Structure 1
Amino acid sequence: MPLKIKQAFLPEFLLTILLILTIFGCASVQRPMGGPRDRTPPKLLKATPENMTRNFAAKSITLEFDEYFKLTNQYAEIVVSPAMEKSPEYKIRQKSLVIDFRDSLHKNTTYVINFGKAIQDVNESNQLKNFTYVFSTGPHIDSLAISGTVTNTDTQEKEKEALVMLIPASQDTAIFGKKKPTIFTSTDSSGNFTLNNLHDGNYRIYALKEASPDKIYNNDQELIAFLKDPIHLTKDTSNISLRLFKQTPEKFRLVDRRFDGDGKLFFTFNKQLSDPSIKITYPKEIDETKYVDISPTKDTAMVYLRNMEFDSVRVAFFDKQKPLDTIYLRKSKKETFTRNIQFKYNLDGDNQLQPGKDLQLISNLPIDNFDPGLLMLTEDSVQVNFTMQKDPANLKLINLKYRWKQKSNYALTINELAFTDIYGDKNKKSIKKFTINKPENYGTLTLKVTVPDTSKSYIAQIFNATNNKTILKTVTFSKNTSIILKDYLTGKYRIRVIYDNNKNGVWDSGSVKRGTQPEKIWLYNKDIPLRANWETEEAVEIPGESTLP
């Protein structure tokens, strides 16, 4: 009997032991939790044949790394120079990468395999950037180098991870084609680059900040840089300065065209226009009642049509009265749209109004009329009288006028049906509370600007140091001048100067096809503080254009 008990118990005991080993075995291969994140890319331990091998005669290369890795977009990222008709095959075997050549190699030729960003570790996808393997089928390895920096023309900052491409002068048009460059690298965190193992000859050099990693300049939004003259490479060349800029497209194009949910037509242009205008050419009768709202940057437009009884509309675009394009948009005659009148106000982040300013109500829809009797303004909970005016040039803007008092609390109540938009829609009730900012929180800044050459023209742009995209003031001048910023909020400001070579009052981008560089920009190298209730004066000496990189 005891023997039977033991025989019955044994299978259950073994099953339990196996289950425990399985659980702990699975747990043992899990990645440890916690600790610093791994930011180290794979490291090459051994190459067979060795990197920089001369008289190379192998049919394959084996690269052994210190950790498991993966290849990402290898046929796009990995480039062999000079190019081969048949691309090599790339195989991962444990921690090694095996490269099998499927094409014969030229005699007495230096080959460079640039892996781009293809090699990444498995866990964190850390990239082994700009790793190259070099060999020569002859006794000599090309050893010339080109180095330099890439700068963003707009921000004047060094550009990291910009693609730098070297193209033989005989293949210069490759920058616009479908063929990827075979000689390239990317800039480091300081905007520096080096291209090694180069053969002597004539080259064109470009830098590209890509929208998509295809190593081809094929997008208006991409930043491009180039040297006008080719590089005659006979020795190591350094201090190459490339200035990235967004090229203004030569041909007008609509990037976006649509009916929005509220019924307006929305358009985005591929470039800023000088004096844009829009006309409805079909149905003709609705053109006279349209309202066009063009953005301050003149690259976006919204068109509001009072009459929506149509199934298709033809829209024509002009710049300085010159025709640019005509497009059609379709909709159903019975299509419905949802509109909700909403307002923004000219208040700061703390809901404070600048002293001496009118309260501006900025609607999301063009306003046809309003009833002041359905609005109520209270000052410390006491109702007060006020006046309101529509802006004759802007149907979305209403000015509310009142003699504001310091230390008072205001509340504007907009009751239902107070506003009617051009479609006949009414607003819902809303309340906006605000106060008046203190006069001592504003100051005056005077910039004493000295120019290097009075025969040339300059454009100064003033912006907040924390937001260089919003230009607060623009001044064009050609001689020493004073730029006054009166009643500006306290904070730090910066000045950027454009060298307006053609004296047209705007910054002009370059053109790769025409070989023209963008107009240079100089950024004053310090923040200018504006203290509360204080008049600040700053001397700004603009350097000569020839001294800039």
Structure 2
Amino acid sequence: MKKGFLLLFLNIILLSCARVGSPVGGAKDAVAPKFVGSNIDTARINVPVDTKELKLYFDEYIQLKDIQKNLNISPPIGYKKILPTTMGNKYILIQWDENLQENTTYNFNFGNAISDLNEGNVLPYYNFAFSTGEKLDDLYISGDVIDGMAKPASNTATPSTENKKNYVVGLYQEKDTINYSQKPYYITKADPDGYFELNYLSPGEYRILAFEDENQNSVFEAGKENVAFAKDKIDLKSSISGMKLVIYPSKKALKYKEMKEATGGAVMIFEGHPAKVDVTALSEKLKDYNVTHKPYSDSVNIWFDAVKQDIGIRQSENLKFKYSADGKEGEASIFYRLNPKNEMIGSSVESKIAPTKNFEILWNYPVQNIQTEKWTLKIDSVNTVPFTAKISTEKPNKVQVSGDFQIGKKYSLTVPKETVQSYYTSNPKSYQFNFEIDRAENYGSFNLIIENKPDAKFWVQFLNEKGDVQFSKFSDEASHNFNEIKPGKYLLRILVDNNGNGQWDGADFTNKTFAEDVYIFPKEIEIRELWQNKEVWNLKSNSTETPVLNAPPNVN
């Protein structure tokens, strides 16, 4: 008898300790949680403005994943608590402190945060809306966010959404002054294919903005995040569908950032790609120096001989400068200490050279003079052969070596010390660069005919699968030949210099200036050995120019 009671007691204990979960065996649950009710009445209107929480009930235990990233509340509410956190619940609880606005529809968009506890079945893009007024606002804007720089989708002539990004689309109320450093009044996230919906909108005038929310704070950061916008406001009186927002890299506002020690002196760093920067030293000790700045580069180098002028040798010294960057003036300083390891260093760009290409050497200083009469070039390490060398006009730190190179032969170039001169220094040691001339059959070629070419000059560019520019031609011609291309798959694009400043300009949201035109070839280019590809590209059928109510990469 006692034994029977003991067995019954143990069974009760085991049953009471059983974990709530899926039974062993049977069909796997593939159904997402279902909403069954809330603390807001079913009409969801005339909700008191002093309401301080929202509670949503579901038919099974749920969990919230990445709720901070997924949840968007329009208009924004500064919530203080969300449940469930780590443990499962059959409800979601959101609490806040502030009073709600009168006659306003609030929309809680949970993205893909809600899933059941056991199987993880997601309730996708669940929305819950209520109004403090007499009706729910029911206008909407829907459409697609498209990456204007992405690889085209297969068999289409439009930019692709293959590269899944974290795109946010928002509306700001039209005002005399709009604070874009705050979250949009209405906000949503595009799905992985770029489709978005802004729901429960009230009539009014708005500014629309889409951006790649890299830091996931729901606020656009110029220069760091890609952007699409409309120049004109939206007067929303009826719903809008099919809107296309083409997103591009954005331009930073011009500002000085910092100074730091660099090889050969110091470097002054800006944001916003200034076209022209003038720098003047204010420190009396620094009398002999040179300044180099490539237009639209963020870096300005200040070269000087620290040893000769006794600067920063025994201790750090405060060097002061004034600058004028595109007319914006200011002062900057650096506590400079000479790095004794800094010296002029050279390295070869490639060791295997295409038959008609130059051998190239990159230096970490701009090259002012080369004494090629002291250099020697040998073929197969035996015979000395003639050559010519020159400093690149586009990149002053590059030296290009050419000659009557023979296919399949190996060459050795000797550069003695102190035969490459820069500001206040020269190469302190000798270099021997070895390279080989590759065979023509290891390369392919490509001929491009452009129909309806841009009126302005443009860049035709080949990008490899990593997105690096491999070939680039700046021209206004309709026909282009690319020879000695390494086999592989490439993206072909055209960037247009609409404003004629010699560089491609991204979207300037501050000044409501769209990005310059860009065209993406509608299919991947495959280059094979000994193949000659030919394509005719009609730009009118493949344009990502900014359309109405749309928004419309850096070339260097």
The farther-off stretch of 443-452 and 421-430 is 421-430
Structure 2 length-normalised TM:
0.72
Hey, what does 2:260 align to over in structure 1? 258
Hey, what does 1:25 align to over in structure 2? none
Give, in angstroms, the shift of residue 353 of structure 1: 1.5
**Conservation of the 8 A alpha-carbon contact between 1:41 and 1:127:** no
Query: Does the C-alpha gap of structure 1 residues 412 and 196 become closer, same or farther in structure 2, counting only changes over 3 Å?
Result: same
Give, in angstroms, the shift of residue 95 of structure 1: 1.4
**Conservation of the 8 A alpha-carbon contact between 1:148 and 1:192:** yes
Query: Does the C-alpha gap of structure 1 residues 325 and 466 become closer, same or farther in structure 2, counting only changes over 3 Å?
Result: farther
Hey, what does 2:349 align to over in structure 1? 346
Hey, what does 2:452 align to over in structure 1? 451
Give, in angstroms, the shift of residue 225 of structure 1: 1.6
Query: Does the C-alpha gap of structure 1 residues 114 and 304 become closer, same or farther in structure 2, counting only changes over 3 Å?
Result: same
Q: Distance in 1 between matches of 2:38 and 2:404?
A: 84
**Conservation of the 8 A alpha-carbon contact between 1:165 and 1:184:** yes
| Cα deviations by residue, 1:466-498 (Å, 9 ceiling, x for unpaired) | 354426233343xx7322334444555554334
Q: Distance in 2 between matches of 1:521 and 1:372?
A: 42
Aligned residue identity for 1:269: F
Give 1:123-522 correspondences, 5 Å limit: 130-136=125-131, 140-155=135-150, 156-158=159-161, 160-170=165-175, 173-174=178-179, 176-178=180-182, 180-249=183-252, 251-260=253-262, 262-274=263-275, 276-283=276-283, 289-290=289-290, 292=292, 294=294, 298-307=297-306, 309-310=310-311, 311-317=317-323, 323-332=327-336, 335-347=338-350, 351-366=351-366, 378-382=378-382, 384-386=384-386, 389=389, 391=391, 396-412=397-413, 427=428, 432-442=433-443, 444-451=445-452, 456-457=455-456, 459-466=458-465, 468-470=467-469, 472-477=471-476, 481-498=478-495, 502=499, 506-522=503-519
* Alignment gaps of 5+ in structure 1: 1-27, 30-39
Q: Among residues 531, 534, 537, which one is paired with 1:537 in the alignment? A: 534
Give, in angstroms, the shift of residue 542 of structure 1: 1.6
Give, in angstroms, the shift of residue 216 of structure 1: 2.2
Query: Does the C-alpha gap of structure 1 residues 216 and 121 become closer, same or farther in structure 2, counting only changes over 3 Å?
Result: farther
Would you say 1:95 and 2:51 are equivalent positions? no
Aligned residue identity for 1:169: E
| Cα deviations by residue, 1:180-208 (Å, 9 ceiling, x for unpaired) | 22421111121111122333333332112
Give, in angstroms, the shift of residue 54 of structure 1: 1.4
Query: Does the C-alpha gap of structure 1 residues 102 and 399 become closer, same or farther in structure 2, counting only changes over 3 Å?
Result: closer
What secondary structure is seen at the aligned counterpart in 2 of 1:246? coil
Greater RCO (CA < 8 Å, at least 6 residues apart): 2
Query: Does the C-alpha gap of structure 1 residues 127 and 427 become closer, same or farther in structure 2, counting only changes over 3 Å?
Result: farther
Count of residue pairs brought into register by the alignment: 493
Hey, what does 1:525 align to over in structure 2? 522
What secondary structure is seen at the aligned counterpart in 2 of 1:215? coil
Q: Distance in 1 between matches of 2:269 and 2:117?
A: 41
Aligned residue identity for 1:344: S
**Conservation of the 8 A alpha-carbon contact between 1:42 and 1:67:** no
Give, in angstroms, the shift of residue 73 of structure 1: 4.3
| Cα deviations by residue, 1:479-524 (Å, 9 ceiling, x for unpaired) | x732233444455555433465556565444444544433332212
Give, in angstroms, the shift of residue 435 of structure 1: 1.4
Q: Distance in 2 between matches of 1:356 and 1:419?
A: 25
Percent of aligned positions with the same letter in both sequences? 21
Q: Distance in 2 between matches of 1:443 and 1:226?
A: 41
Aligned residue identity for 1:327: E
**Conservation of the 8 A alpha-carbon contact between 2:67 and 2:110:** no
What secondary structure is seen at the aligned counterpart in 2 of 1:331? strand
Structure 1 length-normalised TM:
0.72
Query: Does the C-alpha gap of structure 1 residues 427 and 193 become closer, same or farther in structure 2, counting only changes over 3 Å?
Result: same
| Cα deviations by residue, 1:520-549 (Å, 9 ceiling, x for unpaired) | 322121234555455543222120769975
| Cα deviations by residue, 1:162-192 (Å, 9 ceiling, x for unpaired) | 1001233348713x243x2242111112111
Q: Distance in 2 between matches of 1:336 and 1:386?
A: 39
Query: Does the C-alpha gap of structure 1 residues 494 and 424 become closer, same or farther in structure 2, counting only changes over 3 Å?
Result: closer
Hey, what does 1:6 align to over in structure 2? none
Q: CA RMSD in A?
A: 4.5
**Conservation of the 8 A alpha-carbon contact between 2:443 and 2:530:** yes
Query: Does the C-alpha gap of structure 1 residues 254 and 131 become closer, same or farther in structure 2, counting only changes over 3 Å?
Result: farther
Q: Distance in 2 between matches of 1:510 and 1:69?
A: 36
Q: Distance in 1 between matches of 2:216 and 2:30?
A: 20
Would you say 1:49 and 2:38 are equivalent positions? yes
